[in-house]
Amino acid sequence: MALNYAEVWSPDLLEIMEQESLTSPFITSNVKWLNAKTFHFTQMSTSGYKSHNRNGGWNKGTYAQTDVPYTVTHDRDISFMVDVADVDETNQTASIKNISKVFHKTQQVPEMDAYFFSKVATEAQKIEGYHSSTAESTWTKANVFGKLKGMIKTGKLRRYVKNGSLICYVRSFIMDLLEESTDFTRKIEMTQIAEGGIGIETRVTDIDGVTIMEVIDDERFYDKFDFTEGFEPVAKVTADATKDIAAVTGSHKINVLVASLETVKTVPKIANIYYFEPGSHTEGDGYLYQDHSLSDTFVFPNGKDGKIDSIYVDVDTEEYTEAE
């Protein structure tokens, strides 16, 4: 009989996700689904005050409400078949549970972060004034504090700073420079970002109440990925007309990415795990593991004028190449 082990293993799987994920604070399940893959976000705006007339009467205001549908599209699955002989000959180390743990720790969770970072970066790059490109060599211990302080207060980000809802992710070399900065007097600590005493340890500090978090595993910290198999940065391709090769813009490493917990959400729809004993399926003499995930990351507009103003990204000037 096929059993869905998502509930049976949920404490273990949740622990893995919390221990390894940098973006878990943005996960939410508080959405109202319209159908299998779509939920709606209600966007409302109103006009403001007008001058009062003491001769009587009231000024008329206007309001607009729109239900905007959002559809999750990051649909992923994988299956593993473990032959009974492999389980026997490896003294159970090739068990389905071990494979599941390794897969979620080394593949699923890093991909979740990579998708989040690239999705938010792509959205920020569409908004004038909310993105920049800075060569790694131009960052110094003398200017790092000023650069970060300026980025987290760009445009309307100030309102989210005031609300205490911003998280700022940075590359390791930037955190290194911040530790050396004489302008920065806050303490930088190794900490755990998840609740309940379990979480990935990374360096964390704050600037003006904004959490600054180091992204140690920078292979997940690019502005775009190819998700055909696993996730890989997109490599730069130089055009060659003689070989009919078109140019491809490579991914850029993210230096700094800022997002608000109020308006940026990762929405999971499906997180199913199925386990089949030998003899209960037709794929071979062994244990069959199947994993299906459907989710997406969205950046919602503000509630004042319907614009996106809660994210920022700064990327390196160099494009990713295969040699990296």
Catalogue the E-assigned strands of 148-300. Answer: 166-171, 189-192, 201-207, 210-215, 225-226, 232-233, 252-260, 264-276, 286-299
- 180 has pLDDT over 80: yes
Average pLDDT over residues 258-271: 91
pLDDT at 185: 79
Place of tokens 């559809």: 71
Q: What percent of the chain has pLDDT over 70?
A: 85
pLDDT, average across residues 139-151: 96
> Over 60: is that where the pLDDT of 235 sits?
yes
pTM here is 0.83
pLDDT band with cut points at 50, 70 and 90 for residue 89: very low
Q: Higher confidence at residue 89 or residue 60?
A: 60
CB-count burial class (<10 Å; 0-12, 13-18, 19+) for 73: exposed
Pairing of strands 38-46, 63-71: antiparallel
The pLDDT value given to residue 104: 82
- Helices of type H across 29-152: 84-89, 96-103, 109-124, 144-151
- pLDDT value at residue 201: 64
pLDDT at res. 323: 63
Average pLDDT, the chain: 84
Tens digits of residue pLDDT in 54-87: 888 888 888 877 777 888 999 999 998 887 776 5
State the average pLDDT over residues 102-109: 85
Domain boundaries, the chain: 3-45+65-319
Over 90: is that where the pLDDT of 305 sits?
no
Question: How would you class 114 by CB atoms within 10 Å of its CB: exposed for 0-12, middle for 13-18, buried for 19 or more?
Answer: buried
User: For residue 14, what is the enclosing H or E element?
Assistant: helix 10-20
In tens, the pLDDT along 4-17 reads 444 444 555 555 55
Which residues is 192 bridged to in the sheet?
A: 201
The answer, yes or no, to whether residue 197 has pLDDT greater than 50, is no
Instruction: Check: CB of residue 204 under 8 Å from CB of residue 168.
Output: no
Structure confidence at residue 91 (pLDDT): 47
57-66 CB burial, b ≥16 within 10 A, e <16: eeeeeeeeee
Give pLDDT tens digits for 163-173. Answer: 999 999 999 99
Q: What pLDDT score was predicted for residue 86?
A: 64
pLDDT of residue 37 exceeding 90: no
Residue type, 83: D
Segment 12-33, tens digit of pLDDT? 555 555 446 789 889 887 777 7
So what's the pLDDT on residue 1? 37
Specify the DSSP class assigned to residue 186. Answer: S
Q: Is the pLDDT of residue 53 over 50?
A: yes
The label of the residue with tokens 């973006």 reads: 23
Mean pLDDT of 42-55: 78
Which range (7-16, 143-152, 285-294) has the least confidence? 7-16
Of 302 and 297, the structure prediction assigns the larger pLDDT to 297
- pLDDT of 313 > 90? The answer is yes
* Helices within 32-106 (DSSP H only): 84-89, 96-103
Q: What's the pLDDT score for residue 58? A: 87
CATH class given for the domain over 3-45+65-319: alpha beta
